[in-house]
Structure 1
Amino acid sequence: MYLYLTVAIIAEVIATSALKSSEGFTKLIPSIIVIAGYGISFYFFALLIKTMPLGIAYSLWAGLGIVLVTLVALIKFKQIPDLPALIGMTLIIMGVVIVNLYSKTIGR
């Protein structure tokens, strides 16, 4: 279950990061990466929600994706998040940790 989640998140982060490089789908290689990445991400997310509740799976996928895309943007595009963005992402991470540690709705 967590392997599917990991693959879905990584593929989504790669696709979202390539979306900027595609320049509105005018560059071929980044555009192909976007389409393939989202396809892989949605496929593995669909497999994931067979065993994990949809709400929990989506919150993990989206929350971790937001943080990782921000890290990629920082490194690749030199987009530095400001203090409110950092506080918000800290809250997202805390939410993901709380869900994983304390939620009884995650099938273990």
Structure 2
Amino acid sequence: MENSKKNQQYIMKSYFFLFLAIISEITGTTFLKKSEGFTKFYPGAISVIGILFAFYFLSIAIKTMPVGTAYAIWSGVGIVFITIIGILVYKQIPDTAAIIGMSLIVAGVIIINLFSKAAGH
């Protein structure tokens, strides 16, 4: 029982660091657009810092989580949230094919988390 509890703590810690990686990546990518090709210093600096933190937190998450699973969740959730930011901030409306593709990505992330033993359950 004790071993199971410890394993659960490792899983929760991995998902926490994965969450931080996702937030950092979303921040870095959002400010990458605002940096206008790194011609604006502060948005460019925030972008670089965000991406550095994203990789740092991802590297912590994959210590105890399969790299493929972590990367699938990281990139899938990031794609969806960056698209939402693109819609709300930059008025970039995705077409039907993009929406279908992102729906499939979300479905894949859900399937991995609910059913895959590779997700660390």
Q: Report the TM-score when normalising by structure 2.
A: 0.87
Question: What corresponds to 1:45 in structure 2?
Answer: 58
Q: Which amino acid aligns with 1:19?
A: L
**Structure with the bigger percentage of helix:** 2
- Distance, in Å, in 1 between the alignment partners of 2:119 and 2:94 is 31
The answer on 1:4 being equivalent to 2:17 is: yes
Extract structure 1 runs of 4+ deviating beyond 4 A: none
Identity in percent: 50
The answer on 1:81 being equivalent to 2:101 is: no
Counterpart among 33, 38, 42 of residue 46 in structure 2: 33
Once the 2 structures are TM-superposed, how far is the Cα of residue 2 of structure 1 from its aligned partner? 1.1
Q: Which amino acid aligns with 2:38?
A: F
Q: Which runs of 5+ in 1 are unaligned?
A: none
Alignment of 1:52-91 (within 5 A): 52-91=65-104
Once the 2 structures are TM-superposed, how far is the Cα of residue 60 of structure 1 from its aligned partner? 0.5
Q: Report the TM-score when normalising by structure 1.
A: 0.97
- 1:20-57, CA deviations, whole angstroms, 9 ceiling, x for partnerless residues? 11011110110011111001100000000001000101
RMSD of aligned Cα (Å): 0.7
Once the 2 structures are TM-superposed, how far is the Cα of residue 107 of structure 1 from its aligned partner? 1.8
Question: What corresponds to 1:96 in structure 2?
Answer: 109
SS at match of 1:105: helix
Q: Which runs of 5+ in 2 are unaligned?
A: 1-13
Q: Radius of gyration: which is bigger?
A: 2
Q: How many residues align?
A: 108
- Distance, in Å, in 2 between the alignment partners of 1:66 and 1:96 is 12
